[in-house]
Amino acid sequence: MHKNLRGIQTLYARLSHWKEEHIKENPSILLLSFVVGVLCALAGWVLKMLIKLIQQWIVHIDELGSIHWL
């Protein structure tokens, strides 16, 4: 666990150093905002698919007549 944490800190330090040399602050904020937006959209899509899957599972069980939750 300790070795893994050190690897994450090293990766963060390298990314931070690269960002300071290649990207100014304003574009960095825009890039970070874009990445966060894409990740939120992906999380929303996954949540939507999980809800749809659970809905289909409940309807399928209800059609079999074994369990009536709705």
Q: Would you list the domain boundaries of the chain?
A: 2-64
This prediction has a pTM of 0.53
**In whole angstroms, what is the distance from residue 46 CA to residue 58 CA?**
18
Q: Give 62's pLDDT tier (boundaries 50, 70, 90).
A: low
* 3-state per-residue secondary structure call for 6-43: HHHHHHHHHHHHHHHHHCCHHHHHHHHHHHHHHHHHHH
Where does the pLDDT of residue 13 fall: very low under 50, low under 70, confident under 90, or very high at 90 and above? confident
- Rounded mean pLDDT of the chain? 82
Model confidence at 33, in pLDDT bands (50, 70, 90)?
A: very high
Q: In the prediction, which pLDDT does 2 show?
A: 64
Question: What is the percentage of the chain residues whose pLDDT exceeds 70?
Answer: 80
